[in-house]
A and B are shown apart, each in its own frame.
Chain A
Amino acid sequence: MSPLIACPQCRAWLLEDVFNRPDPVPCPSCQTPLQIEVFPALFQKAKTGHEAEAVMVDGEASCFFHPQKKAVLPCAGCGRFLCALCDCEFGGSHFCPSCLEAGKTKGKIKALDTRRIRHDNIALGVSILQLFIFFVPFISFLTAPATVFLAIFFWRSPRSLVRRSPIRFILAMVLALLQLAGWAAFFIAIFTHRSHP
């Protein structure tokens, strides 16, 4: 990406003194007030990858993936020796590409998580579904057990990265149990009414 910065409004290149000012400054082209803070990383050249060295001496440790290349360190995940080419540094640790891929797909490396399913929201949504589908009577007869199932089954599943409280699960469970209690009371009332007319 070019180090030049364009005005987000008119797309004109900004070369005048609009950067790192304490207050918004109008764009020289479209006069839209802009406040732009630029950091040194913008002008740093992209680093090129390391080149792996060939094994020169017989018996020297070599890369697991490239036997002809010299090993420089072990993988933090599987312990295999890696050459400079296979070394993927992430969060201060060094991984081989397969461990990094496995860490992402299996969710072992939390910093690689890019999406999570909100099972607690789903459980809460199912528990209050009857309120929204009020024109379909008795739907809570199905949704209440479903909520209890969801809350128990996904209780230990990874929650949101930022909202980790189990309050939604608890709330969903309480609502579902209240609905089930209501249904139990309803059926008991029917059966007692039939047996003692």
Chain B
Amino acid sequence: MNEPAYQRLAQSAFSSLWLGPDHLLLVNSTFCEESYKRFYFRDIHAITLRKSSLRTIWNAVLSLPLGICLIGMAVCAFPSRGIPFDPTAPIVWSIIFGLFLLPFGVNNFMGTGCACYLRTAVQNTSLPALRRMPKARKVFDKIRPHIVAVQGQLTAAEVSAHLREAAVSEAAASQAQPPKSPEPPVLS
């Protein structure tokens, strides 16, 4: 069998998501090895996006060195008595500030953090390649037509009705379980 052609949807450091002819391919890679998980469009039950605090965490981490650099620049701009003014110090502080400002800007440019999960009949897998909401939604919009073409589509009202039915039948099944056997008598 020939290997199918894949189109890259998303990539992170150790994980990537690819679109195949009839499935999604999740590639988890180390330096020496790649492992693959295939999710056929006909088997996908649900895709969940959850907003996460990834962007806030990175902002907090990067704002600390940025703050230190700002203080450093302020100290250089307004030297106190006794300390001679060094013209190279503000330049050095500015360069360090720029080094941290760049990832800070990229972090905010990439948008809100998110976690993405893909559910099939046998597993609920996290997709680590999708960590940002705008990118995840873009990927989501790209794969939705493929899944809909295979499975069809459900409206929000239909899904709610199906889930209510499922909840009722699960509750009925749990009530219909046989009673526990009586405990053995305590020997005195």
Contact = CB atoms under 8 A, between A and B. Distances in A.
Interface residues of A, number: 48
B27 A17 contact: no
A16 interface: yes
A44 to B, nearest CB: 9
B2 A41 contact: no
A162 B3 CA distance: 9
Contact of A41 (B29, B32, B38, B42): B42
Contacts, number: 146
A34 interface: yes
Select the residue from B122, B140, B160 with max chain A CB neighbours within 10 A: B160
Given A17-B160, A35-B137, A40 B167 contact: no
Q: Please name the 3 residue pairs, one residue from A and one from B, whose CB atoms are nearest each other, closest first.
A: A42-B45, A33-B51, A19-B159
16 contacts: A1-B119, A3-B163, A5-B46, A5-B48, A9-B50, A15-B164, A20-B155, A32-B51, A39-B45, A39-B154, A40-B154, A115-B34, A118-B34, A125-B31, A162-B25, A162-B34
Interface of B: 1-4, 6, 8, 16, 18, 25, 27, 29, 31-38, 42-51, 115, 117, 119, 121-122, 133, 137, 140, 144, 147-148, 151-157, 159-160, 162-164, 166-167, 170
